[in-house]
Structure 1
Amino acid sequence: GQWARALEFIGYFALYTLSVPVLGYLLSTMILLPFLTFRLGYRSWYWLRVSGLVAFAIVLLFRTALQIKTPVNIWLYNQLPDAVGIFMKTWF
């Protein structure tokens, strides 16, 4: 019933919390929000795009506007060209 569904979503957020130090805040958030949108039954491309944009906006808000330091995916960003990697580490 409802307890099982609540525990399911607690599990998703626990997995998200564990993934942030590994994947970084940007990638983890960009995966979680569209996944939760899909899981809640909003399966059209419209809602998946909206959730992706909202996830990106949340990352921008926290990292850029509020200047809150969140974990970044250093390995992934090091694969990018130098200037892009520095930009991503600084702002995302």
Structure 2
Amino acid sequence: MSEFADQYLCAFRQTPAETELHQAAKRYVSEAEAYDRTVCTGPISKDGILPATPRELALVNRNAHALLTRIADAHSHLFSRGELLREISRVDRLGAPA
């Protein structure tokens, strides 16, 4: 390769921490949706099943908070809670590619 290509062009590779962050975000999204499906009785939208009552909403929110805390604490040595929230948002918005 030319000197320019050697210096400026490269193949993108995720670090192990980035890979773990993405896997944790996918896990959060799938586990939260699985729980929501066991609790909620509302309609299903593009965002998944929706809570029909305030009680269902409270259960969903309590589970989401506990799940986020559990996953963030288990991986606190690799990434912050804020990084996890951003990746969860990205995975939820774009879908979770393999």
Q: TM-score, normalised by structure 1?
A: 0.35
The higher relative CO (CA closer than 8 Å, separation ≥ 6) is in 2
The structure richer in strand per residue is: 2
Q: TM-score, normalised by structure 2?
A: 0.34
The structure richer in helix per residue is: 1
